[in-house]
Amino acid sequence: MLSERRLEVLRAIVQDYVGTEEPVGSKALTERHGLGVSPATVRNDMAVLEDEGYIAQPHTSAGRIPTDKGYRLFVDRLAGVKPLSSPERRAIQNFLEGAVDLDDVVARTVRLLAQLTRQVAVVQYPSLTRSTVRHVELLALAPARLMLVLITDTGRVEQRHVDCPAPFSDTSLADLRARLNSRVVGRRFTDVPQLVQDLPESFDLEDRGTVATVLSTLLETLVEDTEERLMIGGTANLTRFGHDFPLTIRPVLEALEEQVVLLKLLGEAQDPGMTVRIGHENLHEGLTSTSVVAVGYGSGDEAVAKLGVVGPTRMDYPGTMGAVRAVARYVGQILAES
């Protein structure tokens, strides 16, 4: 078990290292933080912390830097979430309120997060799986060609072409549209399949094929779009990563282009509250020297999607967490209003 003072030393190391980006030595520590003990004592504490795996030396005769485990302890026990200043809060709200549609909300959120945290921001579009249907629209493009448009309660719109096996009359189309909507509007996407299951049977024989095709396209859309969409921004902040960053930055940029990877990254954050994954806690190699701070957001009390930032493990955790949480809240509000 680590004594109070040793935890204090760890905290000081993390803070200094985050600030200076340089290994911190015992003497500098005692000077900058009023620890009230001599460098020699701190050195002993450091030796213990190193034994326990919380800090490490890049080389002999250099200062110490926190390990992933050290950051973990720092985040869990030594640091809180730093709330934003009220001017910052006002700025967030003002900025987000100018958004005209969902795309714009997401785009603004990304910018905002990137600017506030000076890191790479990732925002997931509201998830279809947890959304409900606001409307399904069917349009005839040609006698045997339809367009299916799906609108969610969060304002997301998806559309697909449907090639029908047989021509479909306008009256049948109106009929299908009406019946479909009466069944699914207001329902969750996950419930849709069983709700429309028996729909073809109620149509004339000649139309059944088309109805079935439309329905299967609809269901397909639901499944496909469970692969969520993302928006990222602030990649220029990666240049603040470190000095050696040709090597560091490349895999990160690559990972950021892989939606799948990012989604997993956000998705792993099961916790209803904020999730912080530090360094090697991220399974994806290439992101082992980054940390991810993510949190769910939603229009109601339930999260419909996640957002977060990706930055170097050496980041200002309290500040970042504060910004992420605040932005998530405001986005939730904005979504609820629209």
Partner DNA sequence: AGCTGGCACTCAGTGAGGCCGAGTGCCAGA
Partner DNA sequence: TCTGGCACTCGGCCTCACTGAGTGCCAGCT
Which residues would be at the binding site for DNA (CB under 7 A)?
Answer: 5, 23-28, 36-41, 43-44, 46-47, 50, 57, 59-64
Amino acid making up residue 313: T
Smallest distance, DNA to C-beta of residue 124, A: 39
148 three-class SS: strand
In the list its own copies, DNA, none, the entry touching 109 (Cβ below 5 to 8 angstroms by class) is none
Q: Determine contact, residues 66/17, Cβ cutoff 8 Å.
A: yes
Smallest distance, its own copies to C-beta of residue 263, A: 14
Instruction: Indicate the residue among 62 and 260 with the shorter CB distance to DNA.
Output: 62
Instruction: Indicate the residue among 39 and 286 with the shorter CB distance to its own copies.
Output: 286
In the list its own copies, DNA, none, the entry touching 253 (Cβ below 5 to 8 angstroms by class) is its own copies
**Which residues are near its own copies by CB under 8 A?**
100-101, 103, 134-135, 137, 139, 141, 147, 149, 151, 155, 157-161, 224, 229, 233-236, 238-239, 243, 245-246, 249-250, 253-254, 256-257, 338
Instruction: Indicate the residue among 57 and 202 with the shorter CB distance to DNA.
Output: 57
Q: Write the CB contacts of 146 (distance below 8 Å, at least 6 apart in sequence).
A: 138, 139, 140, 161, 162, 164, 168, 173, 210, 214
Instruction: Indicate the residue among 36 and 246 with the shorter CB distance to DNA.
Output: 36
What is the C-alpha to C-alpha distance for residues 56 and 29, in angstroms, rounded to an integer? 15
In the list DNA, its own copies, none, the entry touching 64 (Cβ below 5 to 8 angstroms by class) is DNA
Q: Write the CB contacts of 21 (distance below 8 Å, at least 6 apart in sequence).
A: 242, 314
In the list its own copies, DNA, none, the entry touching 28 (Cβ below 5 to 8 angstroms by class) is DNA
Burial zone of 260 (CB within 10 Å; 0-12 exposed, 13-18 middle, 19+ buried)? exposed
Smallest distance, DNA to C-beta of residue 36, A: 7
The sign of the torsion formed by the CA atoms of 129, 131, 136, 137 equals: negative
In the list DNA, its own copies, none, the entry touching 236 (Cβ below 5 to 8 angstroms by class) is its own copies
Amino acid making up residue 176: L
In the list DNA, its own copies, none, the entry touching 319 (Cβ below 5 to 8 angstroms by class) is none
The count of other CB atoms within 10 Å of the CB of residue 171 is 8
Q: Determine contact, residues 152/134, Cβ cutoff 8 Å.
A: yes
